[in-house]
């Protein structure tokens, strides 16, 4: 049984998780761990199309505001109930927001988090169920999910501390607005090429 399959059986404190994650990074750079909903999870290592989508999104964000940066794989402390740790594929914030912070940073100043679905068996639970809840609890204004399985973009906004009150879903190829504080329109046509 893999760590992903055993994730519901592992019980750790946030401090124990952070120590385990530090050790895992020192011994295996390809291992990307998260701790959401009190459960240990392992993210799949991204493929080339996944990386290209994040590159595309980063360029659009920086073009919209040169003071922004899309931080890839930025460790964030999320959730109010059980304390959690997530590594979104991208965390949009002002340049310098995370200066002086360690591997796991506060979500203060994060404008948006972005996730691109991976080709693993846990992506449904992780990206579509657990992370929207964790990010809403952390009151991150916008959660962008680029879902390569359904070929859709989901824009979650208006967090109420429990969930996102607004979710807009569009198929790849249509334009979608990322609401304030991001306030940019994405033409999702290029995502069709990287959905495979």
3-state secondary structure string across the chain: CCHHHHHHHCCCCHHHHHHHHHHHHHHCCCCEEEEECCEEEEECCCCHHHHHHHHHHHHHHHHHCCCEEEECCCEEEECCCCCEEECCCEEEEECCCCCCCCCEECCCCEEEEEEECCCCCCHHHHHHHHHHHHHHHCCCCEEEEEECCCCEEEEEEEECCCCEEEEEEEECCCEEEECCCCCEEEECHHHHHHCC
130: tokens are 């657990």
Phi/psi of residue 30, nearest 5 degrees: -80, -10
Please state, rounded to an integer, the average pLDDT across all residues of the chain. 83
Give the integer Cα–Cα distance in Å for 93 and 169: 23
Least confident window among 21-35, 56-70, 89-103: 21-35
- Does the bond joining 181 to the residue before it have cis omega, within 30 degrees of 0? yes
The stretch 154-176 carries a mean pLDDT of 96
Q: Is a pLDDT exceeding 70 seen at residue 17?
A: no
The stretch 130-151 carries a mean pLDDT of 93
Q: Is a pLDDT exceeding 90 seen at residue 180?
A: yes
pTM recorded for the entire structure: 0.78
Other residues' Cβ atoms within 10 Å of the Cβ of residue 59? 11
pLDDT category at 126 given cuts 50, 70, 90 is: confident
Q: Is a pLDDT exceeding 60 seen at residue 26?
A: no
Give the integer Cα–Cα distance in Å for 149 and 172: 11
The stretch 120-128 carries a mean pLDDT of 70
Residue 185: the pLDDT is 97
Residue 4: the pLDDT is 42
Residue 2: the pLDDT is 41
- In whole angstroms, how far apart are CA 156 and each of 40, 55, 114, 125, 170? 24, 21, 10, 16, 12
Q: Which CATH class is domain 46-194?
A: alpha beta
pLDDT category at 24 given cuts 50, 70, 90 is: low
Give the integer Cα–Cα distance in Å for 44 and 49: 13
């Amino acid at each position: 049984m893999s760590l992903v399959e055993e994730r519901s059986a592992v019980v750790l404190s946030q401090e124990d998780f952070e120590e385990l994650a530090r050790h895992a990074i020192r011994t295996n750079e390809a291992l990307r761990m998260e701790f959401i909903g009190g459960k240990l999870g392992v993210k799949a290592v991204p493929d080339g199309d996944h990386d290209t989508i994040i590159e595309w999104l980063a360029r659009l964000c920086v073009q919209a505001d040169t003071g922004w940066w899309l931080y890839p794989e930025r460790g964030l402390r999320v959730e109010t109930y059980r304390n959690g740790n997530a590594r979104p594929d991208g965390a949009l914030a002002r340049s310098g927001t995370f200066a002086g912070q360690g591997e796991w940073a506060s979500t203060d100043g994060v404008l948006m988090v972005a996730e691109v679905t991976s080709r693993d068996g846990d992506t449904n639970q992780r990206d579509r169920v657990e992370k929207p809840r964790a990010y809403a609890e952390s009151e991150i204004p916008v959660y962008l999910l680029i879902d390569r399985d359904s070929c859709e973009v989901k824009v979650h906004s208006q967090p109420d501390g429990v969930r996102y009150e607004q979710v807009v879903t569009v198929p790849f190829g249509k334009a979608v607005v990322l609401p304030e504080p991001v306030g940019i329109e994405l033409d999702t046509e290029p995502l069709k090429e990287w959905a495979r």
